[in-house]
A and B are shown apart, each in its own frame.
Chain A
Amino acid sequence: MEAPIRAREALGFILFSLLFSICRSSSLNHLLISNAERRIDLSSHIVKVYLTLKVENAGSTPTSEVFLSFPPTQVDHLATVEALVTKGKRKKTTLVRLDVKPTELPDAPNDAKYFAIYLENPLKSGESTTLEVLYLLTHSQEPFPAEIAQSESQLVYYRDSALILSPYHIKQQTTFIKTPSTKVESFTRVEPSNRAGTEIKYGPYEDHPPYSFSPILIHFENNSPFAVVEELVREVEISHWGNLQVTEQYTLVHAGARHKGVFSRVDFQSRPTLNGASSLRYLLARLPPRVHSVYYRDEIGNISSSHLRTDSRKSELEIEPRYPLFGGWKATFVIGYGLPLQDFLFETSDDRRYLNFTFGCPLLETVVDKLTIKVVLPEGSKDPSAVVPFPVEQHLETKYSYLDVVGRTVVVMEKKNLVPTHNSHFQVYYTFKPIFMLAEPLMLASVFFLFFVACVAYLHIDLSIRK
């Protein structure tokens, strides 16, 4: 039902884009792409796209910005865009990461969205450079049929364009699509295109004007579980007594084809490969090394099916939900662990402290729709400020924990649509006087002291009215 509408939309989109490309302003068209290669990896539910662009400056003025364009439907699912450039000659090549920022162009055709790549050195007239772009798409594989029984395997649609959507003229381009298995039900043919094994090849296509678009639809089997964390709240609590307590609350859902009808334990146990092939049986969380007191529980208690493996570089926590997750099934749970503080808390030269911690979700191969990180600073800390490598929403809260009088400052950061590549570090800076550490022990000590004084007083004072 939905598919033809989308196709029609896409068709309209091509017409529009062609129309626009004719009357484009000249600010962009002095660049052209002499060779483009795109590899789309569909093996998990996160779509990974590797784009190799050979950009050539055909104009007369040097330029330092290269624009990437995306159709609006893709932008909503775009989790991250990274660009790298190869530096050096022959053997001594190094990859340098470039800045990529979303931008607006004044006359974008059909709401196309842009990302600007800022080159280190402006590209002079006649020169060319090779850019490596990686972007990840989430929620881009649509299960079809939308409901499957336990013994069926999960088939999905993937929609894209055979031609790379670009504001530049592309001389030559090829697209390779890698599917998770050889089982491909159908794919749109845009000649020359062919399929071999798990790879579908589109192209090479020669000389396409800017904003060329040719919609394709691939229907294939993807039995990898679509693990999506709808909401993740990570709370990092700093205690200057040497511990960093992390609590993570997950709302996990299997976003693949919905389970329909019977769930039979007999079949699931006796023929695991044929039954519930796309079900989510376990998850792997990569935790920092030297993790201790790990727990895994939910609202109704501890979940006993988890294993922790630790070595000097990382800790791996293998967790099984209480029941295997079939499409559309949900599970909520909490993972908590403690970490030694000295691994994560440092002091700056100007006597401030900062926490250096990873941002994203520790589960492998999962998409997080909404992530909230709460950094609970110790009581009495001041001037908190967070440094995050990508834009996030921030605000402050107050939390009361054990024996708190004034409450702890909480730095809250929120971000939507995360993928595992977001597991980069962020910093929270604050000032803290060590004397505040003594407040709570002193409070406890004085309470006990008063209690004993009261006992002594009671034993020594005669309160009776009559002698």
Chain B
Amino acid sequence: MIFYNNPKPKICSNPTMSNSSTSDLLKPFKLKTKQQELLIRVSILCLVYILAFITRLFSVLRYESMIHEFDPYFNYRTTLYLTQHGFYDFWNWFDYESWYPLGRIVGGTLYPGLMVTAALIYRLLHFLRFAVHIREVCVLTAPFFASNTTLVAYFFGKEIWDSGAGLVAAILIAVCPGYISRSVAGSYDNEGVAIFALLFTFYLFVKAVNKGSLAWGLASAFGYFYMVSAWGGYVFIINLIPLYVLVLLITGRYSMRLYVAYNCMYILGMLLAMQIRFVGFQHVQSGEHMAAMGVFFLMQVFYFLDWVKHMLSDTKLFQEFLSITVTCAVAAGGIALGVGVASGYISPWTGRFYSLLDPTYAKDHIPIIASVSEHQPTAWSSFMFDFHILLFLFPAGLYFCFKRLSDATIFIVMYGLTSMYFAGVMVRLILVATPAVCLISAIAVSATVKNLTVLLRSKNKVAQIGSTKGTSSAKASSKASLDQSQPFQKNGAMALLFGAFYLLSRYATHCTWVTSEAYSSPSIVLAARGAHGNRVIFDDYREAYFWLRQNTPPDAKVMSWWDYGYQITAMGNRTVIVDNNTWNNTHIATVGRAMSSYEDEAYEIIRSLDVDYVLVVFGGVTGYSSDDINKFLWMVRIGGGVFPVIKEPDYLVNGEYRVDKGAAPKMLNCLMYKLSYYRFGEMMTEYGKPPGYDRARGVEIGNKDIKLEHLEEAFTTSNWIVRIYKVKPPNNRW
């Protein structure tokens, strides 16, 4: 019901309308009208703020207040550590529980922004005597920041267009599925606060450019600092802003305002960002940050040239000077970059960066990046799913932006276009594009509705249009008088307006539906519909992790595919070999190799890694498709990438991946197959099907007589989703 509030703000979103319609009635109370407008605006913003928060609470209501998915569990664990041990211990934390036997320097390999934010909120609440649990704070951090993002979107929209567009932008972003996908309650991930930080930095920077004030530049530097502390996506900012500056320079929009804003933001932002240990000196050493530095020097050259131009009256002389300086500057920059790269001082671009520029790069070179589903190129349908009508409004908005080109609109256009490209490369980057798409679409909606309402009202008081000095532009009034000649124009406008409202209400329902159906599942707890329409809960993950936590020795080492590493350490409180922080490809490849070898070969690897338990995820009984057998080819690929003994064709039959009788012999006898299907051949899963019928893949398994020699079944959850095996000690030698 909340979502039907949505069209309402749009009626009131046009301040000119409320201004002028009430102005003739309440002319003596001019101030009062303004106050009314303020009241309406503030109450709409409050409602949007609340809406953005509560629309993200589906998962809490459906399931419970819990942390979702994979990475959030690491963030939760570190936040817990931060609140229990304090900031310095957190900063110097060496985690023995992951990447056994290597360990992980947690303080130096994470972006602490999210954890520090949550810990601060927790401290503040406790200071105000709200005895909340840290888990609740973590669960609600993302919705809270999403609410804050709507406010930033409002101010940003106001800055680049007008307050009407700002309001529409706030509403659009509040419910946009592209953003909700990463900010539902429980999705305690860096992106939750990072999108807020990203948009806030952009807003502050645009404000700084518009105002040319050092204060706003400083604020944007701090916003950038927060962004750097929160998410690796800060690289987008540090490349987009120089690009934007470059575009402004090329289009001849160089100004003192830009100079002040960029220099202040870049220098201070860089110095601040160096305080984050994980980022360190990358701003001066890494290839990905060099664009910003180059533009910084270019700015100085421009300023210098400007000064020289001011001093020299002879244009010809200046032209010569210009050509010499530019050549020298470019040459010096090129040489510096060349020397830096050659001497290894400046590191080349990382694989992740390459894969952004070239979508096929990861597939050929870095299987570990390609194996993650959210790093896949985006399908057209997921654009539609995440943006809905915004996808059509976006080009319209671009049109309006180009029509009223300013420093701010150029920025939003560039932001929109670049992020749309990146969204096309990787599914997860739809998130980065969402704010831009919402803002640009808001401009389209706001401008259209404004034009239409002006048209509607102009009919009644055609005579007054000339006299009213409202904010409605002269263009609009001239358009109105021009359109006056056309018949049915009022009806047409009315129809268009209703059409717009219809589309927007469709958008609201679509967003709610997507949020409720697609993005509110914690993925730890699986829900399905039973035979009688009742809800069946599969809580197997937590069953297994809690079993590990309670019934294994505290120093037990658990080997599993890296997807489950964070969850095992956070919920099972046990040491893992690899986890979702995929920093050591060789280590992951070793695990992949163990999983894809025969049992006795795997046993040697397992012994060398000092593993006590092996955990696999198996969906054959429940029909849960994202299990280890379906991920197995990636294990083979990643393992084979480092250890050429493992060859992908050994596991395929005529290029086809099968687990039934026709499967490759190596497939049928590798460790992963054995562990997944151990004693599954005795199990009746579905009526009318033979025993050992795998429901996830819809086949009868090929190897029903599985004997384990070096491992033994230690625990299997009630729906068989998680299976844990204990590694037996080696046999006595005599």
Question: Measuring CB to CB, which residues of chain A are less than 8 angstroms from any residue of chain B?
Answer: 261-266, 270, 297-305, 322-323, 328-332, 400-405
Contacts and interface: CB of A to CB of B under 8 A. Distances in A.
B552 to A, nearest CB: 10
B306 interface: no
Count chain A CB atoms within 10 A of each CB in B131, B545, B571 and give the residue with the most: B131
B66 A330 contact: no
A402 B545 contact: no
A266 B129 contact: no
25 contacts: A262-B713, A262-B714, A263-B713, A264-B713, A297-B64, A298-B546, A300-B545, A300-B549, A300-B571, A301-B64, A301-B66, A302-B66, A304-B525, A304-B537, A322-B542, A322-B543, A323-B546, A323-B547, A329-B550, A332-B550, A400-B131, A402-B129, A403-B129, A403-B130, A404-B129
Given A299-B549, A300-B571, A402-B131, 7 more contacts: A262-B714, A263-B715, A264-B713, A266-B679, A331-B546, A401-B131, A404-B129
B717 interface: yes
Contacts of A305: 539
B130 A266 contact: no
A132 B547 CA distance: 45
A323 B542 CA distance: 10
B627 interface: no
A194 B539 CA distance: 51
B148 interface: no
Contacts of B537: 304
Nearest to A443: B129
B718 interface: yes
Nearest to B547: A323
Contacts of A262: 712-714
B569 to A, nearest CB: 12
B533 to A, nearest CB: 18
A405 B129 contact: yes
B483 interface: no
Nearest to A300: B571
B551 A329 contact: yes
B545 to A, nearest CB: 7
Interface in B527-545: 537, 539, 542-543, 545
B619 to A, nearest CB: 15
Count chain B CB atoms within 10 A of each CB in A270, A302, A323 and give the residue with the most: A323
B235 interface: no
A265 B720 contact: yes
Nearest to A266: B679
A66 B713 CA distance: 57
Interface string B40-76: 0000000000000000000000011010000000000
Contacts of B131: 400-402
Contacts of B716: 263-265
B682 interface: yes
A261 B539 contact: no
A4 to B, nearest CB: 30
Contacts of A261: 712
A330 B129 contact: no
Given A266-B683, A400-B131, A402-B129, A322 B546 contact: yes
Contacts of A264: 679, 713, 716
A322 B547 contact: yes
Contacts of A266: 679, 682-683
Interface string B711-734: 011111110100000000000000
B346 to A, nearest CB: 45
Interface of B: 63-64, 66, 129-131, 524-525, 537, 539, 542-543, 545-547, 549-551, 571, 679, 682-683, 712-718, 720
Count chain B CB atoms within 10 A of each CB in A303, A322, A402 and give the residue with the most: A322
Count chain A CB atoms within 10 A of each CB in B542, B543, B550 and give the residue with the most: B550
B734 to A, nearest CB: 23
Nearest to B64: A302
A401 B63 CA distance: 26
A300 B80 CA distance: 13
The 10 closest A-B pairs by CB, nearest first: A265-B716, A330-B550, A302-B64, A322-B543, A300-B571, A301-B66, A304-B537, A266-B679, A403-B129, A329-B551
A363 to B, nearest CB: 18
B184 to A, nearest CB: 16
Count chain B CB atoms within 10 A of each CB in A266, A400, A402, A403 and give the residue with the most: A266
Contacts of B550: 329-332
Contacts of A323: 543, 546-547, 715, 717-718
Contacts of B545: 300
A404 B131 CA distance: 9
A221 B87 CA distance: 56
Contacts of A332: 550
A322 B539 contact: yes
A125 B542 CA distance: 69
A301 B63 CA distance: 10
A263 B722 CA distance: 13
Count chain A CB atoms within 10 A of each CB in B63, B525, B546, B679 and give the residue with the most: B546
A252 B718 CA distance: 20
A440 to B, nearest CB: 9
A323 B715 CA distance: 9
Contacts of B717: 265, 323
A332 B549 CA distance: 10
Contacts of A297: 64
B129 A300 contact: no
A48 B129 CA distance: 49
A401 B712 CA distance: 48
B151 to A, nearest CB: 16
Nearest to A330: B550
A305 B66 CA distance: 17
B539 A303 contact: yes
Contacts of B549: 299-300
Contacts of A298: 546
Count chain B CB atoms within 10 A of each CB in A302, A330, A404 and give the residue with the most: A302
A186 to B, nearest CB: 32
A388 B524 CA distance: 45
B679 A300 contact: no
Contacts of A400: 129, 131
A305 B717 CA distance: 14
A245 to B, nearest CB: 13
A300 B543 CA distance: 10
A263 B130 contact: no
A141 B547 CA distance: 26
Contacts of A302: 63-64, 66
A377 B550 CA distance: 34
A274 to B, nearest CB: 15
Contacts of B524: 301
B80 to A, nearest CB: 11
Nearest to B66: A301
Contacts of B130: 402-403
A366 B206 CA distance: 67
A262 to B, nearest CB: 5
A403 B571 CA distance: 31
Contacts of A404: 129
A264 B720 CA distance: 11
Nearest to B132: A402
A58 B636 CA distance: 89
A263 B682 contact: no
A322 B525 CA distance: 13
B538 to A, nearest CB: 9
B714 A300 contact: no
A258 to B, nearest CB: 11
B129 to A, nearest CB: 5
Contacts of B129: 400, 402-405
A459 B713 CA distance: 70
A391 B246 CA distance: 82
A392 B47 CA distance: 55
A404 B129 CA distance: 6
A328 B551 CA distance: 8
Nearest to A303: B539
A81 B418 CA distance: 80
